[in-house]
């Protein structure tokens, strides 16, 4: 053991630097199950406060749904707590394969392989199927896990301006000499809540002989008329070569993810993807619960319909109140404040009003693009959202930003 | 060279009219302002290598060296000299 004092000092200095920049992340303790209404201890040691949760990825309100919880219990009772093994040694139960088949049918692909998380799926898939004769062309706002996965892969990396199809086409033309071209995008972008134009992307991919990769983590289960995700929303269901998604958001909210797509790509992941090969199988309670989620979503669109209605109410209400929001159709609704301190001040005041939201600023989002990101859930109801809207209006009025456009807010608070 | 690189930065990283809005010139910070991030910097490095027939080692393709068009020009010139020698 050697933990030199100088190294300890260096680490402390780094932590202090993070604090001084005002980007030190503090966990807030929640003392209740994940839901639209939660009991939060914040700051640490304070009494519990009941707040409306507007920052969870619990889009369909299934994280604590009684049928999902009961299914997880059944998984625990019938198949145990964990597998104590990776999949290919002695970690695969029949239920893992059944869930993979269930996801394949749900996503409209050829096959699926489970990963411990979607972060792992994105970390493993590129390296498993591309080599130095290939190129990856990614939207510049893709999720950090995709950026990491691309860095682990030997294929050439390139990027295109966010959702800019002209720029993507230019890149596809530039890389016609490559063995394979893979266009990489999120389905719904997590910070802006906007959608990748998958219909146009698929058509460019067909024209320039490219494969398409979509991370649909913020869409699976609710985007599209039957919740199959952004490919369904854009009428290109079944045309995406690689979909990655998570079981950690709308589809139950615990953990787990997958790569779903062309048969050979899934087969290669099973042989070569390192996060699959070197980490444990998804635990049985999660597998049972995820199957139950698919069953619930296949039986009825009620939950995604409610989420859609909540989203429409929320977007309309914020706009009418005079907030600047990022337009879109997804349940991720960013309220633009541009100034970092303003985003922190408003988030703090909203918490005092019983609304749990987080202010995001550089480097999590681009400089001068500070915001409060709100996320809707099917677990919210309209009266709850109407009350939350009133709280937003009160706080917005306090800071004098209602009715101001981007220029007005920047003039008042600076960047 | 400066104008060629400015033109590339404009087309590769900025939307229409954005270059005029921010008054892009050789001293505009690219990395620290968030116009170019480490993820999208790769294509700029590749462009410079191809255009000027040089190889920039990864340890020299730093955010500092790429932060302004002026510093990029210096970097490229250094490598062009090295190549000629």
| Best residue in B18, B21, B40 for a mutation probing chain A (most A CBs within 10 Å) | B40
SS3 call for B46? helix
CA distances from A79 to A70, A83, A98, A293, B62 (A): 14, 9, 14, 18, 51
The verdict on a CB contact (< 8 Å) between B39 and A159 is yes
CA distances from A118 to A103, A112, A209, A264, A271 (A): 14, 13, 26, 19, 18
Question: Where does residue B29 fall: left (phi above 0), alpha (psi -120 to 50 degrees), or beta otherwise?
Answer: beta
What is the largest distance, in Å, between two alpha-carbon atoms of chain A? 63
CA angle A317, A321, A323 (to 5 degrees): 100
- SS (HEC) of chain A: CCCCHHHHHHHHHHHHHHHHCCCCCCCCEECCCCCCEEEEECCCCCCEEEEEECCCCCCCCCCCCHHHHHHHHHHHHHHCCCCCCEHHHHHCCHHHHHHHHHHHHHHCCCEEEEECCHHHHHHHHHHHHCCCCCEEEEECCCCHHHHHHHHCCCCEEEEECCCCHHHHHHHHHHCCCCCCEEEEEECECCCCCCECCHHHHHHHHHHCCCEEEEECCCCCCCCCCCCCCHHHHCCCCCCCCEEEEECCCCCCCCCCEEEEECHHHHHHHHHHCHHHHCCECCCHHHHHHHHHHHHHHHHCCHHHHHHHHHHHHHHHHHHHHCCCECCCCCCEEEEEEECHHHHHHHHHHHHHCCEECEEECCCCCCCCCEEEEEECCCCCCHHHHHHHHHHHHHHHHHCCCCCCCHHHHHHHHCC
List, as ranges, residues 138-197 from A with C-beta within 8 Å of B.
138, 140, 147, 157-159, 161, 164
Average pLDDT, chain B: 88
Q: What percent of chain B has pLDDT over 70?
A: 95
The values of phi and psi at residue B13, to 5°, are: -120, -15
pLDDT number for residue B85: 44
Q: List all residues 6 or more positions away from A266 whose beta carbon is below 8 Å from its beta carbon.
A: A110, A111, A112, A113, A259, A260
SS3 call for B66? coil
The verdict on a CB contact (< 8 Å) between A147 and B39 is yes
The verdict on a CB contact (< 8 Å) between B33 and A158 is no
| A249 in active site | yes
Q: Are A127 and A276 in contact (CB under 8 A)?
A: no
Measure in Å the smallest separation between the Cα of A158 and chain B Cα atoms. Answer: 6
For residues A137, A141, A143, A149, the Cα torsion angle rounded to the nearest 10 degrees is: 30
pLDDT number for residue A41: 97
Q: A39 or B14, which is more confident?
A: A39
Measure in Å the smallest separation between the Cα of A211 and chain B Cα atoms. Answer: 20
pLDDT number for residue B84: 52
The C-alpha atoms of residue A361 and residue B40 are separated, in whole angstroms, by 20
Q: Closest CB to A157: pick one of B13, B33, B42.
A: B42
Cis before A240? omega within 30: no
The C-alpha atoms of residue A71 and residue A285 are separated, in whole angstroms, by 7
The values of phi and psi at residue A96, to 5°, are: -65, -45
The verdict on a CB contact (< 8 Å) between B34 and A362 is yes
The C-alpha atoms of residue A265 and residue A243 are separated, in whole angstroms, by 11
CA distances from A290 to A55, A70, A96, A251, A369 (A): 22, 12, 10, 7, 36
The verdict on a CB contact (< 8 Å) between B43 and A158 is yes
Q: Which residues of chain A have pLDDT under 50?
A: none
Q: Are A76 and A271 in contact (CB under 8 A)?
A: no
Measure in Å the smallest separation between the Cα of B72 and chain A Cα atoms. Answer: 19
Prediction pTM value: 0.95
The C-alpha atoms of residue A160 and residue A146 are separated, in whole angstroms, by 14
The C-alpha atoms of residue A186 and residue A380 are separated, in whole angstroms, by 25
Which band of pLDDT confidence, cut at 50, 70 and 90, is reported for residue B69?
very high
């Amino acid at each position: 053991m050697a933990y030199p004092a100088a190294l300890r000092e260096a680490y402390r200095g780094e932590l202090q630097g993070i604090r001084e920049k005002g980007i030190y992340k503090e966990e807030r303790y929640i003392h209740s199950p994940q839901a639209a209404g939660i009991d939060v201890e914040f700051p640490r040691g304070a009494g519990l406060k009941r707040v409306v949760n507007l920052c969870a990825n619990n889009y369909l309100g299934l994280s604590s749904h009684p049928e999902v919880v009961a299914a997880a219990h059944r998984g625990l009772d019938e198949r145990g707590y964990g597998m104590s093994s990776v999949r290919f040694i002695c970690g695969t139960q029949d239920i893992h394969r059944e869930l993979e088949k269930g996801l394949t049918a749900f996503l409209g692909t050829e096959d699926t392989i489970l990963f411990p998380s979607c972060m792992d799926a994105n970390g493993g898939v590129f390296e498993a199927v591309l080599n130095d004769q290939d190129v990856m062309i990614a939207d510049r706002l893709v999720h950090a896990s995709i950026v990491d996965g691309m860095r682990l892969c030997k294929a050439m990396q390139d990027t295109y301006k966010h959702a800019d199809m002209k720029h993507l086409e230019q890149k596809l033309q530039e890389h016609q000499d490559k063995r394979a071209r893979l266009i990489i995008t999120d389905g719904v972008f997590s910070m802006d809540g906007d959608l990748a134009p998958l219909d146009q992307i698929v058509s460019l991919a067909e024209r320039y002989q490219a494969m398409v990769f979509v991370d649909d983590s913020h869409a699976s289960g609710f985007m599209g008329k039957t919740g199959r995700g952004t490919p369904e929303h854009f009428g290109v269901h079944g045309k995406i070569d690689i979909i990655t998604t998570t079981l950690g958001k709308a589809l139950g909210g615990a953990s787990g993810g997958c790569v779903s797509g062309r048969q050979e790509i899934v087969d290669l992941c099973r042989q070569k993807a390192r996060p699959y090969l070197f980490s444990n199988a998804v635990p049985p309670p999660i597998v049972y619960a995820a199957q139950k989620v698919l069953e619930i979503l296949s039986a009825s669109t009620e939950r995604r319909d409610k989420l859609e209605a909540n989203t429409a109410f929320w977007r309309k209400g914020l706009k009418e109140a005079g907030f600047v929001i990022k337009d879109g159709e997804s349940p991720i609704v960013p309220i633009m404040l541009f100034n970092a301190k303003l985003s922190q001040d408003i988030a703090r005041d909203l918490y005092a009003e019983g609304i749990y939201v987080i202010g995001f600023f550089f480097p999590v989002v681009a400089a001068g693009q500070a915001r409060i990101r709100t996320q809707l859930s099917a677990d919210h109801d309209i009266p709850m959202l109407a009350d939350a809207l009133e709280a937003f209006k009160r706080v917005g009025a306090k800071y004098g930003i209602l009715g101001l456009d981007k220029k007005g807010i920047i003039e008042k608070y600076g960047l | 060279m400066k104008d060629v690189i400015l033109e590339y930065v404009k087309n590769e990283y900025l939307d229409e009219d954005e270059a005029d809005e921010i008054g892009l010139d050789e001293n505009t910070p690219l990395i620290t302002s968030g116009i170019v991030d480490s993820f999208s910097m790769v294509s700029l490095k590749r462009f410079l290598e191809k255009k000027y027939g040089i190889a920039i080692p990864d340890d020299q393709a730093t955010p500092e060296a790429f932060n302004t068009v002026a510093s990029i020009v210096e970097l490229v010139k250094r490598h062009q000299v090295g190549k000629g020698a």
